[in-house]
Structure 1
Amino acid sequence: MFAVSDIHLLTDENLRQQVKEHPRAQELLRALLYPYAAPDHDYVLRNRKVSPLDAGRSEAMDDLLRGRVPVIAAGSNRSPRQLARKFAPPHETVDIPVTMGWMENYDIVYCAHLTGYGSVPATILKSPGTTVRVAVNWLLPDQLHRMHATESLGHHYDYAQLPSVGIALDCGLTVQRAGAYIARYGAEFSPGDIFALDNIKAENRRYPARSQWEMLQYVARRAGQVPHPDFILRIIDDENFRHAQNGLRVD
């Protein structure tokens, strides 16, 4: 998914050097670069490539979105690279439109669980007064089924339809109801410790924002470990250790 040539995307110079010289650099980059680069404009993923959407053609937009379910892409699902990975053969599919907009009274925050590839992933959380930049994936029923299969439903996430979300899209449409993947472990590793994603735009944010590496350093110190790329590899390699870092489940 990532190559060593992507090393320049790491902004921490010391970390960049540690990863560059590591024999498992590609795995580390997959963890550290979450939630991955994404356009800040409407696009469609077509043949695993990005094509801009013409928001000025309302009829064409209506035709494209008809019959599709809007699903909030809180974390990596906003990224063409992640969508291309999830819908790679044999799961290759037709176009996936992704529209950008603003959602009120929510924020995009880190989950209180870790992924099998070493990242702290994202979820949405109510945050009165906050307006956050969001992407919406528009999925056909079979695409939604595939997306469910990639989201560890019943273990890390629940899928829910959120009413009255009021997402104002850049294209002029308003989404009143959307699907979302809600973290089962919530957003608190420890009481009161809730952190927003620093590369997601927001206004009137209530929670401190951190990068992925800052979050992994937090998790390492909370576990009594040294913040180092090898800590990330232990998360990847040791399932029991990884699960032991989760926050309190919120079933």
Structure 2
Amino acid sequence: MDARDEHRTLSALGLADAPRDHPLSYPGAWPTGSGLLRGDELLPLDRLTHPGRTPVVAVGSNASPAQLRHKMAEFGVSSTVPMVKARVTGLDIGVSAHISRPGYVPASPIGAPGVMRELFVIWLDPEQLALIDATEPNYDRVLLLAPGFGVELENGEALLDAFAYVNHHGVLHHGDGAPRRHPGQRALITELLARSTALRQLFGTTPEEFCSRARADAGRRVQGTRLFAEEKWVTASGLEHLRVR
């Protein structure tokens, strides 16, 4: 690897830590702009659209190059993935009503008419798409269509269709029934633990304890997910009407 290439490694770019290994970092570090993930590097892109690949809007750790690399490497799938920054309308980033295997409470898109967010579109080949589908057992991949949603790439080009992963457990709310926005993992877990004695009994009193206990015990994760519903924190995402892949 020459000196120029070394500047494009995930480590050099501050993108090397995967939330799977560092759950309190969820959703992980996102790139500042579009790029081509290729193994341990994030390289410049020569184009923004990629025929033969499926565009997926990422609202959580699928926009983290380190997380994508981790997932692909675990199953021996190519980690060459175009990651394109886009302006997405009609969606915001909510909180999934479940606890994930790595020990964090992940994000899920929520319906947000009129809201625009800068997100990443990851372009997946058929093998990669099948893998990501398999690693998202709590989500349905749904099709985002105009006029309810818009996905505009950096060059102003609008995608006619794109997908997103929506949690089928529902999403969390603050208490008023409206889906809450994801504030980041540490802030979220701190708030949830403060609101529930039962949750503290399951997972301890700090975000670190929560992640450690959740990561180590599948049964505890199931109990915690069930507790979200018992505490009446769960509501609809506003995207239930969308067509599942």
TM above 0.5: yes
With the length of structure 2 as denominator, give the TM-score of the two structures.
0.75
Q: Does 1:40 align with 2:32?
A: yes
Q: 1:126 to 1:193 in 2, by over 3 A?
A: closer
Q: Post-superposition shift, 1:211?
A: 2.2
With the length of structure 1 as denominator, give the TM-score of the two structures.
0.73
Q: Is the contact made by 1:106 and 1:125 (CA closer than 8 Å) also made in structure 2? A: yes
> Aligned AA for 2:157?
L
The residue matched to 2:22 in structure 1 has which SS?
helix
Distance 2:27 2:19 in 1: 14
Q: Which runs of 4+ in 1 moved over 6 A?
A: 26-29
Residue 218 (structure 1) aligns with: 191
Identity of aligned residues (%): 30
Matches within 5 A, 1:1-251: 30-54=22-46, 60-62=47-49, 65-88=50-73, 90-93=75-78, 95-152=80-137, 156-164=138-146, 165-188=149-172, 191=175, 192=177, 194-197=179-182, 210-224=183-197, 225=200, 226-246=205-225, 247-248=228-229
Distance 1:196 1:116 in 2: 21
Cα deviation 1:4-58 (Å, max 9, x = unaligned): xx9xx9xxxxxxxxxxxxxxxx99961100011111211111133110224xxxx
Q: Post-superposition shift, 1:179?
A: 1.3
Q: 1:92 to 1:28 in 2, by over 3 A?
A: closer
Q: Post-superposition shift, 1:146?
A: 1.1
Long gaps (5+) in structure 1: 1-5, 10-25, 55-59, 198-209
Distance 1:30 1:218 in 2: 19
Q: Is the contact made by 1:112 and 1:189 (CA closer than 8 Å) also made in structure 2? A: no
RMSD of the TM alignment (CA)?
Answer: 2.6
The residue matched to 1:175 in structure 2 has which SS?
coil
Distance 1:79 1:115 in 2: 16
Q: Post-superposition shift, 1:142?
A: 1.3
Long gaps (5+) in structure 2: 1-10, 241-245
Distance 1:32 1:233 in 2: 10
> Aligned AA for 2:143?
Q
Distance 1:194 1:133 in 2: 19
Distance 1:49 1:33 in 2: 20
Q: What is the aligned length? A: 206
Residue 4 (structure 2) aligns with: none
